[in-house]
């Protein structure tokens, strides 16, 4: 007589041999079973609520742990680097298409917050002609240092140091405040 354990071991070995022999058939059966399970579960509101909650809790735990956060950043950077190395043109196009709407939305919020027109002459015909100006000067350096997203967020938090100027008024202000260096073409 064989023991229960011996019988189960034989059964596992037989299953393993069957899986190795019929690899494609087993893969197809697994795929069909997984699709059916997914279809059944995706319509179950309790399952979906539980999955969302556990996902949020998992993300919160990862965000609170500095080591995990740094590990995630490293993985993300490596993934981005690999994608860029494989096909730089496609990567740049995909990045642009992803960021362009976010940039436009945030820029529009800043424009609304600052009055949506030139502070000097009142120009409001086309938002493409309106520029964000740092009243004290040096806004370009701050923009370069922070990046556009953090720069716009800063303006939304505290807009006292910023104004909107049309391109002409902004150029005149920069020229009169000597914020730009103009080379006289006559002297060249």
- This prediction has a pTM of 0.53
Question: Residue 174: which pLDDT band, with cuts at 50, 70 and 90?
Answer: confident
85 pLDDT above the threshold of 60: yes
Q: Would you tell me how many other CB atoms lie within 10 Å of the CB of residue 152?
A: 21
Residue 165 has pLDDT above 90, yes or no: yes
State the pLDDT confidence band at 183, using cuts at 50, 70 and 90: low
If you average pLDDT over residues 154-163, what whole number do you get? 88
State residue 1's pLDDT score.
58
What is d(CA 171, CA 73) in angstroms, rounded to the nearest whole number? Answer: 40
For residue 5, what are its two tokens? 């354990």
- State whether the Cα torsion 142-145-149-154 is positive or negative: negative
pLDDT at position 4, please?
Answer: 83
Q: What pLDDT, on the 0 to 100 scale, is given for residue 61?
A: 79
Contacts of 26 (CB under 8 A, 6+ apart): 18, 19
Question: CA–CA separation, 106 vs 147, rounded Å?
Answer: 13
Cβ-based neighbour number of residue 160 at 10 Å: 7
């Amino acid at each position: 007589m064989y023991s229960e354990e011996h019988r189960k071991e034989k059964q596992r070995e037989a299953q393993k041999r069957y899986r190795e022999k019929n690899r494609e058939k087993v893969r197809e059966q697994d795929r069909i079973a997984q699709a059916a399970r997914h279809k059944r579960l995706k319509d179950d509101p309790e399952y979906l609520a539980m999955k969302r909650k556990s996902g949020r809790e998992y993300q919160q735990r990862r965000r609170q742990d500095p080591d995990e956060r740094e590990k995630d950043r490293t993985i993300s950077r490596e993934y981005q680097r690999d994608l860029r190395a494989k096909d730089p043109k496609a990567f740049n196009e995909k990045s642009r298409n992803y960021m362009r709407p976010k940039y436009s939305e945030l820029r529009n919020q800043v424009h609304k917050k600052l009055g949506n027109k030139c502070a000097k002459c009142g120009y409001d015909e086309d938002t493409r002609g309106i520029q964000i100006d740092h009243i004290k000067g040096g806004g370009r350096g701050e923009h370069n240092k922070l990046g556009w997203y953090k720069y716009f967020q800063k303006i939304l938090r505290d807009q006292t140091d910023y104004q909107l100027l049309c391109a002409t008024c902004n150029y005149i202000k920069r020229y009169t405040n000597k914020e730009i260096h103009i080379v006289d073409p006559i002297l060249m």
